[in-house]
Chains A and B, each alone.
Chain A
Amino acid sequence: MKFRHIALAAALALAAPAAQAAKTDLIVGMAAQDVGKLDPHLAVSTIDRTVVAWLFNGLVRFKPGSMSPADIEPDLATSWESSADKKVWTFKLRPGVKFHGDYGELTADDVVYSLTKSADPKRSASSGDFASFEKVEALDPLTVRITLKQTIPSLLGIITNYGGGFIVSKKAVEALGDKFAAQPIGTGPFAFAANTPNQSLELVAHKAYFRGAPKIGKISYRFLPSNASRDLAFQNGELDLEFGSQDQTWIDRMKKLPGAVVDVFQPGEEAILHLNLAQKPLDDLRVRQAIAYAINRPEILKFQGPDASRTPGSVIPIGNLGYVDAGLPGYDVAKAKALLAEAGFKDGLTLKVVHTQLPNMLAQMQVVQAQLKRAGINLDLQVVEHATFHQMIRQDLSAIVFYAAARFPVADVYLTQFYHSRSTVKTPTAVTNFSHCTAADAEIDAARTEPDQAKQIALWETAQKKIVAQMCAVPLIETLQAWVRKDTLVYGYDLKGSLSLGPLITEQTHFK
């Protein structure tokens, strides 16, 4: 009896501080087999981008929780000024910023090295964004000057905490060489600790972080590719935060779990049908218009569910700087049939379309297929494996390309990559213009160098309307990002958007 009392007292004494101390280890479940490249300039998948945003900083950053260009604020730079023609920019760096490990303090040399690396296609996936850079120089250890060949829509947008804007340690990249992509060194609130292939990536708090030591001590980023098992692990309390699905049934199911909060946030990935103007019969405007009238967007939204999806209003995503409701054609099957008859396809037509086997994209395309069928347009879907799909659509092998993407939220980026003739697939400067659209080249080019923002926005709006008039593309739906977390996990900011596609874990993030 006496022993039981002593044991009980000891147990209570041990349990009491444990109950009071807040948890500091964050366990995140990601839909991944492994991480790819953690060199921030080469990190292109959602899996890698989510993590590098916790490890690195840019000269400027989007305020945590936002991805509006209006919310750009100082990060590694404390202030900046530009010449009257906006071609020369000078940045003052924050003093005393420490890199992870023994890699010392940040200097202007690191910034010059990082931005030069970002512009090099051999060492960066974002080199295209830096095409207008003439030179980057260190004026003194804490001052950097960027000189541009020509004015660009948003220099701050390029050097923010995203893609090529991340600042790396020159010393670390030179010392580690190719290993840097597996053992990244940045200035962010968390530092790389270990990576167990196929299992997890472990991060630790960067105690010398310039905004203060993070409240979270460790992050375990677990690779859990099975959606069902990841959900079960979250339900079982083994995960604090989980990458989710935009699927309405998933959102409804997770919302019902006790102590779970589903976060839905920007960017919206806009799914668009790009109609190949270089192929018959899509070279006929009336056929393209028929496709546009046959698409029933409210029905697609109903299929996908309203919580993490919305109906698009233009050929670029809602919320991009320069977005305008471009007046997309409404659903009208009779009109679609009449247009087809006028174009000489009274009995309908068949289009060969290459598509991916990824379940969500395939399901959406099957809805489109059923809708077009009502107007007499048959889609002969050639369903292939996802990497094969990417290669085939870049070889111009599909009459229609279904593509869902989010980009840096300034109209220029989406318009240039998807609708400018320079970006047409199978050309030396190709990006993702699958439709061979040339409708708004002049406006897109003029807007890029227009110094007056009101005029610039007007040009982007005209460009969108011209692209819609030419029916280069038919927007279908926009889907937002969805994650689930325990209600005890507090981000420390209001999560409305995140360019890295995952929630930012900052020095303020903590458990209640």
Chain B
Amino acid sequence: MIFYIARRLLAAVPTLWAVLTLVFVLVRIVPGDPAVAILGDRATPAAVAALQAKLGLDRPIWEQYLTFLGQSAQGDFGISMVTNRPILADVGAVIPHTIDLTLAAMLIGIVIGIPAGVWAALHRNRWIDVLARMLSLVGLSFPVFVSGIFLLLTFALHWRIFPVIGNANLSDPGDRLLKLVLPSITLGLVMAAYITRVTRSSMLSVLDEDYMRTARAKGVPWKRVVWRHGLRNAGLPVVTVVGLYIGILIGNSVLTEIVFNRPGLGKIIVGALNQRDYTMLQGLMVIYCFLIVVVNLLTDLAYGFIDPRVKHA
């Protein structure tokens, strides 16, 4: 197992290098100059050139690339071109909020999505199934900025249970939880919709399998057949979707973060892109890529637990 993890992490190195190179090139291809963004619209070309020199943007591109690669390899992401703050400190300050939101949304998605998917599959084409499919379609179709504002209007403005500004005090668990409820429901419902649909179709394909019929013929109670034999075998596609979706959640939580005024990784990425903050963007992309690699690895490891036939040699 340890060898497997080490091999996977080692295999991630070329991926990370490719991403680093791509990010380095992409942020420089996009039109827009960080020096202009920093100095504003009144800056003369002389002032822009002076700042470019100070930021090191006038150095040959290969020199900038090698410096960037060297620093990244040492885990040094430098300081933000715009705020002059260390990038890791900025990311470190918001990442607990992103992890909170991602995990809570995933939990809500699993708790609602898996039972709803199983239930719908067991009652195929009956009203429960139709209802589950309809609701999941609604969940997928509703943009988070609409459902989020709706939740705020209802639970923050009308009933005044939750605050509108969701920047939680991390050292206060009560405050952290209070400010997590609405955003995680908003994002969790979308995830639940995905999981419901995948679980349903996965279960449907399993329900007609011979081993299910054999188990029932042997007199195994129906509930046990469904949960032990059915769901376990239907679980692999669901885990794949959950794993993939965690990656999407981390990056795509930006709208939820903006609507609920929460700090987070997605919000920093958008800010850095608007400001053409090259160093911040590069640092964020590396961290984001690393997170995706780790999540994918965890997903692969989870296969082994669900289905012992998947070996991690």
Contact = CB atoms under 8 A, between A and B. Distances in A.
Contacts of A198: 90, 93-94, 263-264, 267-268, 271
A182 B167 contact: no
A224 B267 CA distance: 11
A428 B45 CA distance: 6
Given A197-B85, A197-B263, A199-B263, A229 B32 contact: no
A179 B84 CA distance: 6
Nearest to A235: B157
A181 B149 contact: no
B156 A236 contact: yes
A137 to B, nearest CB: 24
Shortest 4 CB-CB contacts between residues of A and residues of B: A44-B40, A387-B32, A33-B271, A198-B263
Given A121-B47, A387-B37, A428-B46, A229 B270 contact: no
Size category, A interface: 35 or more
Contacts of A182: 83-85
Given A198-B271, A199-B167, A429-B44, 14 more contacts: A33-B270, A36-B275, A125-B39, A127-B46, A181-B84, A196-B167, A198-B90, A222-B167, A233-B164, A236-B160, A388-B30, A388-B31, A391-B36, A431-B44
B59 to A, nearest CB: 16
A235 B157 CA distance: 8
Interface in A398-429: 405, 407, 417, 428-429
Given A178-B84, A431-B42, A229 B164 contact: yes
Interface in A341-370: none
A232 B167 contact: no
Given A198-B94, A235-B157, A238-B163, A229 B258 contact: yes
Nearest to B277: A36
B153 A232 contact: yes
26 contacts: A34-B268, A35-B83, A36-B275, A44-B39, A121-B46, A122-B53, A125-B39, A126-B42, A127-B46, A179-B84, A195-B85, A196-B93, A197-B85, A197-B90, A198-B271, A222-B167, A226-B258, A232-B164, A233-B261, A238-B163, A384-B31, A386-B274, A387-B33, A387-B36, A391-B33, A428-B46
Contact of B38 (A44, A200, A417): A44
Nearest to A405: B41
A238 B90 CA distance: 25
A128 B44 contact: yes
A122 B50 contact: yes
Contacts of B39: 42, 44, 125
Interface in A93-148: 121-122, 124-128
Contacts of B83: 34-37, 181-182, 197
Contact of A390 (B41, B93, B259): B41
Contacts of B13: none
A392 interface: yes
A15 interface: no
A388 B33 CA distance: 8
Interface in A178-214: 178-179, 181-182, 195-200
A193 B157 CA distance: 31
A225 B165 CA distance: 11
B186 to A, nearest CB: 12
A37 B82 contact: yes
Contacts of A431: 42, 44
B156 A122 contact: no
A45 interface: yes
B50 A121 contact: yes
Interface string A229-250: 1101101101100000000000
Contact of B42 (A34, A228, A235, A417): A417
A388 B54 CA distance: 22
A392 B30 CA distance: 12
B84 A390 contact: no
Contacts of A391: 31-33, 36
Contacts of B157: 232, 235-236
Interface string B134-154: 000000000001000100110
B131 to A, nearest CB: 31
Contacts of A236: 156-157, 160, 163-164
Interface string B193-232: 0000000000000000000000000000000000000000
A198 B262 CA distance: 8
B133 interface: no
B268 A197 contact: yes
B38 A42 contact: yes
Interface string A136-173: 00000000000000000000000000000000000000
A391 B36 CA distance: 8
Interface in B235-285: 258-261, 263-264, 267-268, 270-271, 274-276
A385 interface: yes
Nearest to A384: B31
A495 to B, nearest CB: 24
A430 interface: yes
A432 interface: yes
A36 B43 contact: no
B32 A385 contact: yes
A267 B136 CA distance: 50
Given A36-B83, A198-B267, A229 B259 contact: yes
Contact of A37 (B30, B38, B152, B276): B38
Nearest to B34: A387
Given A36-B275, A235-B157, A229 B264 contact: no
A431 B41 CA distance: 8
A69 to B, nearest CB: 19
B51 interface: yes
Contacts of A124: 47
Nearest to B153: A232
A387 B38 contact: no
A390 B32 contact: yes
A230 B259 CA distance: 9
